[in-house]
Chains A and B, each alone.
Chain A
Amino acid sequence: MKNWVLGLVGALLLPACVTINIYFPAAAAEKAADKIIDDVWQLKNGAEKPNVNAVEPAAK
């Protein structure tokens, strides 16, 4: 009796783990888009991020 209660709890939890991975992360995508647009359109001059410089030498 108690075994299948445990099994039920497990069965309910499992889809929750899968669901987290397959939703498109809209908020994170907007944040990433904003960062990229700010860089491409130079919207935040004077706020150069150090990791931009770190990448350029590697591209040579």
Chain B
Amino acid sequence: MKKILFSLVVLLSTLLASQFVAAAADLEVNTPAISAIKGSMQARHGQLAAHYASGAIGLTKDGMIAVRDANAVPLKDRGALNSAVAAENADRAKLYKEIAVANGHPEWQPEIQSTFAGRWIDKAQGGWYYQGAGGWVQK
């Protein structure tokens, strides 16, 4: 009888403990490294916003951005646009890596990347372009 009671207590405390584990499962994203990357991306977005709207750049299905239509940009500005896109993608790769590392699971980086891919597209403004199953789609 005592042993059954004991097993029940162990079972109940494990169930109770699992509530705290579930609550602690919020991802840590407030590290200085992540904040620095966010700041850099936020500053660059000031330049990129017009290019999203014009369709010059679009959101890829793997959480990055790409030049979709270089013709939407005057010739003299295309070099700067390509640099900005490359810098943004470098920041994004760093961001996904940093979040995984900050949470003690570097191996989560691909899943964090694909989670972001879906969220970027979901939150994109109307008129922006993103990669669907068969090519570029306008929101």
Residues of A near any B CB (own CB < 8 A):
2, 5-6, 9-10, 13, 16-17, 20-21, 24-26, 28-43, 51-52, 55-56, 58-59
Contact call A59/B36, Cβ cutoff below 8 A: yes
| Chain B 11-54 per-residue mask, 1 if CB under 8 angstroms from chain A, else 0 | 10010001001100111011010111011011001000000000
Q: Which residues of A contact B7 (CB under 8 A)?
A: 5-6, 9
**B-to-A contact residues, CB < 8 Å:** 3, 6-7, 10-11, 14, 18, 21-22, 25-27, 29-30, 32, 34-36, 38-39, 41-42, 45, 95, 99, 108, 111-112, 115-116, 118-120, 123
Question: Which residue of chain A has its CB nearest to the CB of B49?
Answer: A41
Q: In angstroms, how far is the closest chain B Cβ from the Cβ of A39?
A: 6
Sample of 13 A–B contacts (CB below 8 Å): A6-B7, A9-B7, A9-B11, A20-B18, A26-B111, A28-B25, A29-B111, A33-B112, A35-B29, A41-B45, A42-B42, A55-B30, A59-B39
A30 to B123, CA, bound (A): 12
- Chain B interface mostly helix, strand, loop or mixed? helix
Query: Known contacts being A25-B27, A34-B123, is A40 close to B42, with CB within 8 Å?
Result: yes
